Amino acid sequence: MTLETISENRSFGGVQGVYRHSSEATGTRMTFAAYLPPAAAAGPVPVLWYLSGLTCTHENAMTKAGAQEHAAREGIALIFPDTSPRGEDVADDEAFDLGQGAGFYVNATETPWAPHFRMWDYITAELPAVVFDRFSLRRDAQGITGHSMGGHGALTIAMTMPETYRSLSAFAPIANPSESDWGRKQFAAYLGNDAAAWGGHDATLLMREKGYPGDLLVDQGSSDQFLDLLRPQALAEAMAARRQPSVMRMQEGYDHSYFFVQTFMGDHVRWHAERLRD
Amino acid sequence: MTLETISENRSFGGVQGVYRHSSEATGTRMTFAAYLPPAAAAGPVPVLWYLSGLTCTHENAMTKAGAQEHAAREGIALIFPDTSPRGEDVADDEAFDLGQGAGFYVNATETPWAPHFRMWDYITAELPAVVFDRFSLRRDAQGITGHSMGGHGALTIAMTMPETYRSLSAFAPIANPSESDWGRKQFAAYLGNDAAAWGGHDATLLMREKGYPGDLLVDQGSSDQFLDLLRPQALAEAMAARRQPSVMRMQEGYDHSYFFVQTFMGDHVRWHAERLRD
């Protein structure tokens, strides 16, 4: 596995790096960012996966979420993957919410997306192999979080593979995509019109069916401009109906931006670190 | 207003008292408990109303909730009212969840309950007049909380009179009584069969209609034996749908008992104290 180093910068006593590699899952070159805290110099540390939202690359949260300070303090690594395959040979759409930058963390089965849009496999299998090969990380201590489309990814991936993702949180997740215009359009395009194929990618439906064996933290801004698309009330109802150990916080006045994410990032990093320590 | 002192005991540097008075609202003698923190000696302090659940008197939370230590630290007074009128001349029912010990914080309009079961007026008007006359409390800094039926009372009273109750929380509230056997039976008995009269006493319906101008904290145990009657999922959905600033915590493994209440009492007292300080 050849890993190209794009950049490495000292950050809060650790290293913030950006790396590129050839992906078998997507058939493209993929870029991701990784933050290694000072504690990683002394031995393997827990790792928190941060999945980003629509239009984002590996770079947005790395530069705007303010997570490194908290990760350094808690001794936990951060991985910031990209949100889709990219390139001139990769299918795309004029809309910002379909195609490049909008992978929705699924393996596409439909034309023209199927050849490259395999973000589920990339995030859950290939990229983990890359980072565990390269960095000093504890494979047995992985948590996952994300924002918006990335919150959708974090919730659906962790509920599907809870033995791998031992801690879980989300910022303003797309919580019920099969009932939202952020979901129906993309699932139809990537997965086809048979909604039976969508259920495994809807956090509310997964919560109703199986839940998560740990507890989880969800933050949502009350002034989020996309609340009608995110549908936090569906996930809130499903969590309470299931008696899912959880904390659901409706944060007054916060919108969908990184100002919201960075305000609560410290709480989320601490949440994961407390659950991933042995 | 004659207030009979039943007992006064030093507690965490303050005074835990029990008092009795004649109530015009209920037409009976009513007993309540009040805790005054050490800070009350120096001037008026904020006050937190704690409404109890089915079968309780003023005494249960006073002795089992462990609230005094937190109230002393935070400099906030506590009032523990009774849950209904009582006496040989007061109507009752063989069931534990109707009649004496089960006032549901409404003003009954139906026979045989109407003459004495006026707990809404007692809690929101008459008892405040009594305690503000007797103790050094800030009328402009009142919060309200409660457990089970008392959580129902706290939520419905605060949403109806938010200018009076400036902070709000609940422990395992009866969250949607008009859709529960803890509610339909009692509302039919006290208020009559026309469900139009019930809406002002259903926290979920009030949340859908008007919400609460502040934020609120709700704790619910995931192993509560009465979850089907409490219906937290209805309130959770309504809070999220409304974008109500809130924290809803599903606490893993906790049941409906005072062991649950006392575990999180510190968080609730702090929640109120932080919001009632100027």
Angle at B84 between CA B82 and CA B87, to 5 degrees: 105
What is the reported pLDDT for A1?
Answer: 62
pLDDT tens string A158-208:
999 999 999 999 999 999 999 999 999 999 999 999 989 998 999 999 999
Beta carbon pairs, A and B, within 8 Å: 80
Residues of A in contact with B223 (CB under 8 A): 243
CA distances, A180 to each of A84, A110, A199, A204, B239 (Å): 20, 20, 13, 12, 19
Whole-angstrom Cα distance, residue B253 to residue A239?
15
Q: Predicted ipTM?
A: 0.75
**Chain B CB contacts of A239 below 8 Å:** 233, 236, 250
Phi then psi for A36, rounded to 5 degrees?
Answer: -105, 120
Summarize the confidence of residues B147-166 as an average pLDDT.
98
**Tokens read off for B88:** 């040989």
Residues of B with CB under 8 A from a CB of A: 215, 220, 222-224, 227, 232-241, 243-253
Helix %, strand %, coil % for chain B, to 5?
A: 40, 25, 35
CA distance B236 to chain A (A): 6
* Residue B224: other Cβ atoms inside 10 A: 21
Indicate if the pLDDT at residue A263 is higher than 70.
Answer: yes
Angle between the N-to-C axes of helices B67-74 and B258-276, in degrees from 0 to 180, rounded to the nearest 10: 10
Q: Do B237 and A237 touch (CB under 8 A)?
A: yes
The shortest C-alpha distance from B230 to chain A (Å) reads 11
What pLDDT was estimated at residue A94? Answer: 94
Q: Match domain B4-276 to its CATH number in 3.40.50.1820, 3.40.47.10, 2.40.30.10, 3.40.640.10.
A: 3.40.50.1820
Lowest average pLDDT, out of A143-152, B1-10, B238-247, goes to B1-10
Share of chain A above pLDDT 90, in %: 94
d(CA A178, CA A106): 13
Average pLDDT over residues A207-229: 97
Place of tokens 């956090």: A203
Residue B239 pLDDT grade (very low, low, confident, very high; cuts 50, 70, 90): very high
DSSP-based helix, strand, coil % in chain A, nearest 5: 40, 25, 35
Q: Which helix (H) or strand (E) holds B260?
A: helix B258-276
Q: What is the pLDDT of residues A237-257, one digit of tens each?
A: 999 999 999 999 999 999 999
Start-to-end CA span in chain B (Å): 30
The dihedral built from the CA positions of residue A14, A20, A22 and A28, taken in this order, carries a sign that is positive
Q: How close A242 gets to chain B, by Cα (Å)?
A: 8
- How far apart are the C-alpha atoms of B41 and B45, rounded to whole Å? 9
Q: What is the pLDDT of residue A2?
A: 87
What average pLDDT does this structure show over B239-254? 96
Contact B240/A235, CB-based, under 8 Å? yes
Chain B residue with minimum CA distance to A234: B237
- Partners of residue A234 in chain B, C-beta under 8 Å: 237
Distance CA A214, CA A193 (A): 33
Give the domain ranges of chain B.
Answer: 4-276
The structure tokens listed for A193 are 């019109």
Assess whether pLDDT exceeds 70 at residue B1. Answer: no
Instruction: Return all residues near A137 (Cβ < 8 A) that are at least 6 apart.
Output: A40, A44, A45, A46, A47, A77, A131
Q: Do A252 and B215 touch (CB under 8 A)?
A: yes
> Percentage of chain A with pLDDT > 70?
99
Angle at A129 between CA A127 and CA A132, to 5 degrees: 105
Mean pLDDT of A59-71: 93
State what percent of residues in chain B have pLDDT above 70: 99
Provide DSSP, B89-125: TS---SSTTSBTTB-TT-B--STTTTTT-BHHHIIII
d(CA B11, CA A262): 42
pLDDT on residue B21: 98
CB contact under 8 A, B233 and A249: no
Does residue A55 surpass a pLDDT of 70?
yes
pLDDT digits (tens, 9 = 90+) for B74-127: 999 999 999 999 999 999 999 999 999 999 999 999 999 999 999 999 999 999
Within a 13 Å sphere around the CA of A183, how many CA atoms are in the beta-carbon half? 27
| pLDDT tens-digit map of B189-221 | 999 999 899 989 999 999 999 999 999 999 999
Structure confidence at residue B2 (pLDDT):
87
Return the residue matching tokens 């949607």: B176
Q: DSSP state, B58?
A: S
pTM for this predicted structure: 0.87
Distance from CA of A243 to the nearest CA of B (A): 5
Q: Under 8 Å CB-to-CB from B9, ≥6 apart: which residues?
A: B15, B16, B17
Picking from B236, B241, B253, the nearest residue to A240 by CB comes out as B236
Q: Which chain B residue lies closest to A248 (C-alpha atoms)?
A: B248
**Which amino acids of A are annotated catalytic?**
148, 224, 256
Could you tell me which chain B residue has the CA closest to the CA of A247? B249
DSSP E strands, B113-176 = 137-146, 165-171
Mean pLDDT of A87-97: 95
Nearest CA in chain B to A246: B250
pLDDT band at A84 (very low <50, low <70, confident <90, very high): very high
